[in-house]
Structure 1
């Protein structure tokens, strides 16, 4: 029923835009019928409330929205007869069609109703589709979509007064093109099946690597039936994770590329070329025209270095010169890849949420805008922090560290075979089960060779580290229960936060300022008594604190993004995912 209603709205909109009523074109089959009731027609472009029908469209039995299966072939409009017959019986109709199965099912579900043409004309929405595709900078000039768009643009101009047979072919090809364009707009160009296979290959090599994708919640048939193509494309274009500013940066770089690319800086003595190059990338914004490495130029160099994850020296060292002189295609490809990643991230509308961008080693807290940034440590090259979304729902003060099975097999058991005092040196205990009060097990009673390495037996006990200042999880952890058993937590090893590339953990996210994050979640959870919590933290008793209001948390992997100041930033591809997804 919903699709029938959408189709009725679409047809009504196109009828209002047409130069002549479609009833003229089907006069011989509907001369005694009235297309609409006498109720007033809406203004063109009037918004339709999807839950409350603002006006009632009644379709005559022989109108284009009627069911062809209930009407004799002679009664059907010619365009519908042709669509039905040719889609079923003419394979040549699909010579220029990329999505044959979808096109066949689309018209069958919608009673072979044309949405781009009638028997005498081409609707305006065909031109709108052509223009909308032409505006999309993310479609490569060599892409099949753009080739078909150009071919159909020429065909539309040629067929303004064409016979119905040729209009029918155009109808089918436009639907096929729109389907491909919507697929590109919604889902991008990453081969996710191949990428997941690559991740499985990493896991087979004992490298933990996972990435959960979230498909945009749209039905492509319904989108195609919506009357206003401009509005549809705007609505399905992501707004989260600064997609639109990143898209503007992409368009800017494509424009620079069309004018020759980045200006080359031959050496650290080439001040004039350097200034011109830094102007291109919006790093040099000085009011004066520098001809030397003055303070303003040094700051511009530092800004460039910061945006490109380089040490901020303010000097033209070899790394900086290499980054300045790289081909602009590198930047364009990296941005395009990250735009495609965002298309598969959650389309949520939370005003308050947290983001961990794994490659830039930072946690961001948003509450109707960016409020706080905290440095974090993420998984190392053998223990990738997984990419997924969840919600922080409770805190644990003075946590026990419950050692995962993988660490027991790959690290603890091999160490114990070499050094029987290893467990004690790390402050670890063996218990009968995960209850901290359960029976303690002596390390000397265990045949560690049974539990070491790949193919080892499952460890039958629980290894834990009691709460305390030397606990691997520090004094507090932030839990968002998930299939990967990762969470955010404090750490006793603070010195690692001083390093620029902070990939040291076994997959969990270590927080540089855990009490700042505690204050953040406390600010919107009135059930958390901060004074009581701080007294608990002075001791060693493990205590769970639930959150009345959870915090949505997104662990993402963006190596190109636009920051809160509107600056384009790049991050190191620490896990090699850029290469695997290109």
Structure 2
């Protein structure tokens, strides 16, 4: 492998001698064949052309200095090992690039090689910095705006960094990304070794059981590292604790019973888990590099909302996300929380008015009586004076509002990060839903199990006694907007594989089928698992 990516310096020097000119002279004399080739092969109006124009067409790859040589070697090595980051393989014809470098015999040849190397670098850098896929092309819930650097920015970064240090800065620098990389390596080794072995027949196994299926469960838990090696044929205390640990690490109800759901997750292969890690790495590349010293992280696949301060989770609560139907799934994006509203009104979204409430009003004008109907000027509409059957989903002229109350659909507080998707975090009167294992029930917004405590945590940065402050406003019964003195970044993500705060690996179900779509797109782009499937 070393011979493939470490191109000898002598080849470039020999090419320059054959051309009767050095790269140094090509750099200093305007209008040389090298400069004209660079200008010719760099697409007009591109960031590539801008970079070379700004830098007087100086070569950054085909020079004959040790720095140029090291840069070439690092690039060829990077292009040869894209799989290290779970990026598509085979996207670069490395052998062809090396052959062109070896065969260069004129300044024009060197100019062409220079641009080919820069194009390859920019493509590689973009994939590693921003992801190989375009989220919006995969699923309409992936509305995240991904930060992408121009070709000029990547090349300038390479040029100004010390040595080849820019290569090391391309991948996300987050603790999560590094931990996922370690898990990827571990799973790849496991897959090559055959995985976790035989699965467990789906059924129900619990404390006190014995038999062949208990032994299969025991062996699987041992292979996965949840149970210390034992010869016990019984579902004993040690196995009970192991099952609970497995359930905890997979977002399942921790009842210690190995039922259908638990065994289904237990039987997922190492290859399936590896796919989830590959997808998580790609998703991590989509996120903003700067998350915010304090930020809110909502993992939809985990049904949770967290407040993170300086990399440490300081508050966490269960969440309900959008129902798994086309127009209700919660989208993924980042924004900034600006304020909360205590005792909020619920201004019914147009989609709910026309799809759910209008048909009811057409059958009975007094339906959904807890909701006020208002005209364009905000005045209450007399239901008895309106023939709702004359309207359809396009021309219904009224708005609908539920006043503040304990039974309000938003509960008693909502947390706002104004966005075009009309998504926010809020309380709910439907508390029983938080006891469910899978919590996808809303119209798209994120419901919180502990909204008051969430509010206290946010207000703690600006109020001496946040709890008293919150309840004083709550007791007034008046709809009140409370600005946050400092906006808090909010990241709505969807992560079926992630690393917990203590370094533990966590997996979740793909409730929206988004990760499956991302994996299919990655595979189509050239990402491949190890040959042995386990």
Alignment TM-score, normalising by the size of structure 2: 0.79
The question of 1:525 aligning with 2:462 is answered: yes
CA deviation string 1:270-299 (max 9, x = no partner): 667656644554434x4x645444333332
Q: Which residue of 1 aligns with 2:395?
A: 457
The question of 1:379 aligning with 2:322 is answered: yes
Q: Which residue of 2 aligns with 1:551?
A: 488
The question of 1:255 aligning with 2:189 is answered: yes
Q: Which has the higher contact order (CA 8 A, sep 6+)?
A: 2
The question of 1:148 aligning with 2:93 is answered: yes
Judge conservation of contact 1:430–1:464 (CA < 8 Å) in 2: yes
Distance 1:67 1:270, change over 3 A: farther
Query: Of residues 121, 144, 154 in structure 2, which corresponds to 1:212?
Result: 144
What is the CA–CA distance in structure 1 between the aligned matches of 2:359 and 2:29, rounded to whole Å?
72
**1:149-228 maps to which residues of 2 (within 5 A)?**
149=94, 152=97, 159=102, 170-192=113-135, 194-195=137-138, 198-199=139-140, 209=141, 211-217=143-149, 219-228=153-162
Q: Which residue of 2 aligns with 1:7?
A: none
**1:54-133 maps to which residues of 2 (within 5 A)?**
65-66=27-28, 68-69=30-31, 73=32, 81-82=33-34, 84-85=36-37, 88=40, 107=52, 110-118=55-63, 123-133=69-79
Number of residue pairs matched? Answer: 490
Superposed displacement of residue 564, structure 1: 1.3
Give the SS at the match of 1:548.
strand
Distance 1:163 1:290, change over 3 A: farther
Structure number, greater radius of gyration: 1
Query: Of residues 330, 333, 356 in structure 1, which corresponds to 2:272?
Result: 330
What is the CA–CA distance in structure 2 between the aligned matches of 1:108 and 1:102, rounded to whole Å?
10
Superposed displacement of residue 579, structure 1: 3.5
Q: Which residue of 2 aligns with 1:439?
A: 379
Specify every segment of 5 or more residues in structure 2 that has no aligned partner in the other structure, as ranges.
1-8, 206-211, 521-534
Give the SS at the match of 2:121.
helix
Give the SS at the match of 1:377.
strand
Q: Which residue of 2 aligns with 1:206?
A: none
The question of 1:417 aligning with 2:379 is answered: no
Query: Of residues 350, 353, 374 in structure 1, which corresponds to 2:295?
Result: 353
CA deviation string 1:148-200 (max 9, x = no partner): 335556887xx4x98566766654443333222212212323243532xx52x
Q: Which residue of 2 aligns with 1:34?
A: none
Distance 1:68 1:304, change over 3 A: farther
Superposed displacement of residue 263, structure 1: 2.1
**1:468-479 maps to which residues of 2 (within 5 A)?**
468-479=405-416
What is the CA–CA distance in structure 1 between the aligned matches of 2:110 and 2:313, rounded to whole Å?
52
Query: Of residues 213, 220, 231 in structure 1, which corresponds to 2:165?
Result: 231
Report the more deviating stretch, 289-298 or 382-391: 289-298
Give the SS at the match of 1:423.
coil
The question of 1:397 aligning with 2:342 is answered: yes
The question of 1:296 aligning with 2:238 is answered: yes
Distance 1:417 1:527, change over 3 A: farther
Superposed displacement of residue 432, structure 1: 3.6
What is the CA–CA distance in structure 2 between the aligned matches of 1:523 and 1:114, rounded to whole Å?
55
Distance 1:126 1:272, change over 3 A: farther
What is the CA–CA distance in structure 2 between the aligned matches of 1:457 and 1:441, rounded to whole Å?
16
Distance 1:538 1:139, change over 3 A: closer
Superposed displacement of residue 378, structure 1: 1.3
Specify every segment of 5 or more residues in structure 1 that has no aligned partner in the other structure, as ranges.
1-17, 32-61, 74-80, 200-208
Judge conservation of contact 2:86–2:278 (CA < 8 Å) in 1: no
Judge conservation of contact 2:126–2:149 (CA < 8 Å) in 1: no
RMSD: 3.8
Alignment TM-score, normalising by the size of structure 1: 0.73
What is the CA–CA distance in structure 2 between the aligned matches of 1:142 and 1:530, rounded to whole Å?
51
CA deviation string 1:2-45 (max 9, x = no partner): xxxxxxxxxxxxxxxx99xx9xx89x9999xxxxxxxxxxxxxx
Superposed displacement of residue 497, structure 1: 0.8
